[in-house]
């Protein structure tokens, strides 16, 4: 009994090492350029994360076994033994499940599991069938490891076999020792610092941190840290923080308000490479190519978040994603917004949100209403599941046309927001059109992008003669970047947030490409400025048409895991708020792959100080604004 029970933790560590190997192999294209020595060192650092995760999840088991060893009555001892086995199986299955999920999901979320996973998991339920079909091998891996856990549970010490006082002392002493090791490892006793998901950053680069993390620990830390996530940070006085990073702004347009309609397309999973002319991974998007030739285009646009529920908040609400959980699910969801939808409603616009998914999918309907959009239209309103893609909702082409008919029935002016869905894994295309987009040189994501391009073309073709069409500003912005899945694209902290953003106005056609750094939070004020709006709005964005703001003063902020990022026209800086210090600094115009960390060479000192100041100010004003429930 003793020998087998002593092997439990080493075998559990071996299981998590296997999961780490699987994570690294499946996501190997995201961690290019690492030598064998570097990978081994990263995995060694990961052992600490695995060790703490395993001790954490098995802490109840240790208490139950220790307590059961000293009970003389079988009546109470046996239930504790059974309960310990149940906790062992369920706790370790949960830890394995989180790590299995992250093997496949990391390339989409760009971070290990955190609090947001529960919302993604719940709202992705309709697509489970297709996801399991695409990732069947992960399900098989989980089943095999789950079976191993059930077998290992039989190796737990059996209190009925503790015949002597010596056996009970041995078991209790070991349990107490392990509990002390748990508390010491996590920094709860002793002089050590608490072990956190960011602890490996003490000796490895932020870009490879996920290789050293354990998904159970990142998830547990996120849940525990939830109540502390927006604690005040006194980097500056309150006045100085809001001066450097204001949450309320004014537009002083020189034009009269035009009362043009606005149609905003939030493009699911449109990485910038898909539409950027000359990019080696460009998709076949002839329609969007034609629009770009006569649009206001910002090729240096970056996402303020890494998932759909973050992108929509940045675009419609002007808030970057600086929390683990979506803004509209947080306790701060009652913070009033005064952005695109709310302002246009005040101007007499009717406001409409269209998405082919099920009603209030991902909570988008809830947030859209908060953002001033009165009417929402979903798969249930379309009411024809013959055009359901089997995973997420109605295919883009028919649903966009349905939305066009709704808008044609509205009195002008109106705001229409379309959230496309077809360019999302599993990249389903209608059966009758698959052959059309099955180009041999195009991957599944590229083919889905091409289908969405076709769907947009059909929308424009059908509506170009409608009375409202030429009195409309059309806006295109992606919700987030997505891995092209080509196995060769060099990934960096920079290109994983590159997205397209452009504005097409049939009444003011003309190619106007501007190199200004732009973020999703800039979409609303830019559109309002284009309409000639004069007045206040809330959020962190600025009009990209405002010539009083120098390009050198513009920047985009986001958050990847535990690292906050700020991007200006020359540099990208990563910042660890837990340790209050920068993690990396790259001069990306000359280092597009972000290989040469200037923090190591001692260069870029002035840029680092300036960007640190701006990032600290944004973090502080964001926390203070939400905790006081006021952005104005």
**What pLDDT is recorded for position 490?**
65
With the C-alpha atoms ordered 437, 441, 446, 452, is the resulting torsion angle positive or negative?
negative
On whether residue 609 sits in a domain, the answer given is no
Verify that 106 and 222 share a domain, yes or no: yes
**What pLDDT is recorded for position 561?**
77
Verify that 47 and 167 share a domain, yes or no: yes
**What pLDDT is recorded for position 441?**
85
Domain containing 290 — which CATH number? 3.40.720.10
Verify that 92 and 210 share a domain, yes or no: yes
Give per-residue pLDDT as tens, 422-469. Answer: 998 889 999 999 999 998 888 889 999 999 999 999 999 999 999 999
How many Cα atoms are found within 13 Å in the side-chain-facing hemisphere of 564?
26
Verify that 384 and 450 share a domain, yes or no: yes
Concatenating the DSSP letter of every residue in 282-327 gives ----HHHHHHHTTSEE-SSEE-S-SSHHHHHHHHHH-----SSS-G
On whether residue 234 sits in a domain, the answer given is no
Which of these three, 205, 227, 249, is where a domain ends? 227
On whether residue 559 sits in a domain, the answer given is no
Distance CA 426, CA 133 (A): 9
On whether residue 557 sits in a domain, the answer given is no
**What pLDDT is recorded for position 271?**
93
Query: Which of 511, 466, 531 shows the shortest CA–CA distance to 291?
Result: 511
**What pLDDT is recorded for position 70?**
59
Spans in the chain with pLDDT lower than 50: 163, 187-191
Q: How many domains does the chain divide into? A: 2
On whether residue 604 sits in a domain, the answer given is no
**What pLDDT is recorded for position 424?**
87
Verify that 449 and 400 share a domain, yes or no: yes
Concatenating the DSSP letter of every residue in 399-465 gives HHHHHHHHHHTSPSSEEEEEE--SSSTT----GGGHHHH--TT--HHHHHHHHHHHHHHHHHHHHTT
On whether residue 401 sits in a domain, the answer given is yes
Verify that 199 and 282 share a domain, yes or no: no
> What pTM was computed for the model?
0.84
**What pLDDT is recorded for position 129?**
65
Verify that 214 and 344 share a domain, yes or no: no
On whether residue 267 sits in a domain, the answer given is yes
On whether residue 46 sits in a domain, the answer given is yes
Domain with 473, as residue range(s), is 259-506+518-550
Radius of gyration of the chain measured on its C-alpha atoms:
26
Verify that 216 and 325 share a domain, yes or no: no
Verify that 295 and 153 share a domain, yes or no: no
Verify that 495 and 397 share a domain, yes or no: yes
Verify that 284 and 207 share a domain, yes or no: no
Which of these three, 211, 227, 243, is where a domain ends? 227
**What pLDDT is recorded for position 145?**
95
- Non-local CB neighbours of 34 within 8 Å, separated by 6+ positions: 42, 208
Verify that 50 and 177 share a domain, yes or no: yes
Residues 582-588: contacts with CB within 8 Å, 24+ apart?
A: 582/608, 582/612, 583/201, 583/206, 584/205, 584/206, 584/207, 584/493, 585/611, 586/492, 586/493, 586/494, 588/494
């Amino acid at each position: 009994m003793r020998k087998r029970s002593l092997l439990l933790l080493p075998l559990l560590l071996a299981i998590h090492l296997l999961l780490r190997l699987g994570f690294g192999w499946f996501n190997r294209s995201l961690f290019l350029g690492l030598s064998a020595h570097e990978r081994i060192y990263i995995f060694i650092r990961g052992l600490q994360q695995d060790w703490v995760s395993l001790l954490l999840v098995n802490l109840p088991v240790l208490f139950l076994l220790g307590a059961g060893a000293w009970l003389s009555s079988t009546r109470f001892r046996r239930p504790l033994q059974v309960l310990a086995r149940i906790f062992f199986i369920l706790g370790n299955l949960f830890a394995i499940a989180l790590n299995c999920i992250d093997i496949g999901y990391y390339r989409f979320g760009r971070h290990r599991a955190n609090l947001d996973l529960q919302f993604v998991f719940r709202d992705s339920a309709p697509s489970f069938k297709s996801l399991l079909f695409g990732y069947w091998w992960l399900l098989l891996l989980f089943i095999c490891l789950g079976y191993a856990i059930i077998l290992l549970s039989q190796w737990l010490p059996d209190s009925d076999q503790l015949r002597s006082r010596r056996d009970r002392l041995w078991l209790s002493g070991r349990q107490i020792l392990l509990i002390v090791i748990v508390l010491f490892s996590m920094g709860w006793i002793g002089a050590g610092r608490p072990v956190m998901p960011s602890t490996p950053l003490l000796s490895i680069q932020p870009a490879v941190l996920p290789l050293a993390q354990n998904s159970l620990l990142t998830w547990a830390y996120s849940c525990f840290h939830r109540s502390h996530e927006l604690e005040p940070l006194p980097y500056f006085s309150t006045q100085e923080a809001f001066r450097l990073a204001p949450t309320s702004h004014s537009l002083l347009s020189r034009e009269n308000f035009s009362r043009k309609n606005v149609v905003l397309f939030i493009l699911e999973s449109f990485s910038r490479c898909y539409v950027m002319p000359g990019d080696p991974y460009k998709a076949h998007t002839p329609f969007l190519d034609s629009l770009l030739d006569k649009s206001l285009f910002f090729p240096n646009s970056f996402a303020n978040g890494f998932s759909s529920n973050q992108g929509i908040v940045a675009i419609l609400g002007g808030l970057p994603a600086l929390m683990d959980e979506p803004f509209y699910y947080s306790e701060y969801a009652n913070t009033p917004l005064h952005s695109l939808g709310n302002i246009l409603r005040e101007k007499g616009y009717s406001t409409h949100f269209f998405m082919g998914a099920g009603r209030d999918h991902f909570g988008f309907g809830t947030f859209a209403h908060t953002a001033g959009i009165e009417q929402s239209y979903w798969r249930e309103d379309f009411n024809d599941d013959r055009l359901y893609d089997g995973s997420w909702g109605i295919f883009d082409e028919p649903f966009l046309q349905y939305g066009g008919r709704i808008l044609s029935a509205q009195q002008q002016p109106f705001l229409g927001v379309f959230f496309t869905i077809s360019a999302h894994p599993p990249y389903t295309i209608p059966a009758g059109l698959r052959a059309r987009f099955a180009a041999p040189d195009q991957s599944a994501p590229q083919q889905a992008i091409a289908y969405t391009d076709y769907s947009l073309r059909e929308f424009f073709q059908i509506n170009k003669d409608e009375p409202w069409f030429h009195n409309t500003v059309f806006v295109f912005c992606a919700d987030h970047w997505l891995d092209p899945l080509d196995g060769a694209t060099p990934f960096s902290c920079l290109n994983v947030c590159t997205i397209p953003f452009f504005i097409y106005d049939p009444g003011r056609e003309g190619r106007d490409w501007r190199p200004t750094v732009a973020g999703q939070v800039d979409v609303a004020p830019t559109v309002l400025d284009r309409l000639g709006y004069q007045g206040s709005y809330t959020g962190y964005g600025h009009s990209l048409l405002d010539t009083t703001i120098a390009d050198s003063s513009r920047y985009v902020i986001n958050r990847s895991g535990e690292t906050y990022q700020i991007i200006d026209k020359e540099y990208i800086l990563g910042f660890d708020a837990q340790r209050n210090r920068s993690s990396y600094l790259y001069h990306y115009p000359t280092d597009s792959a972000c290989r040469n960390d200037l923090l190591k060479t001692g260069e870029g000192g002035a840029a680092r100080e300036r960007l640190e100041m701006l990032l600290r100010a944004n973090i502080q004003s964001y926390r203070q604004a939400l905790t006081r429930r006021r952005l104005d």
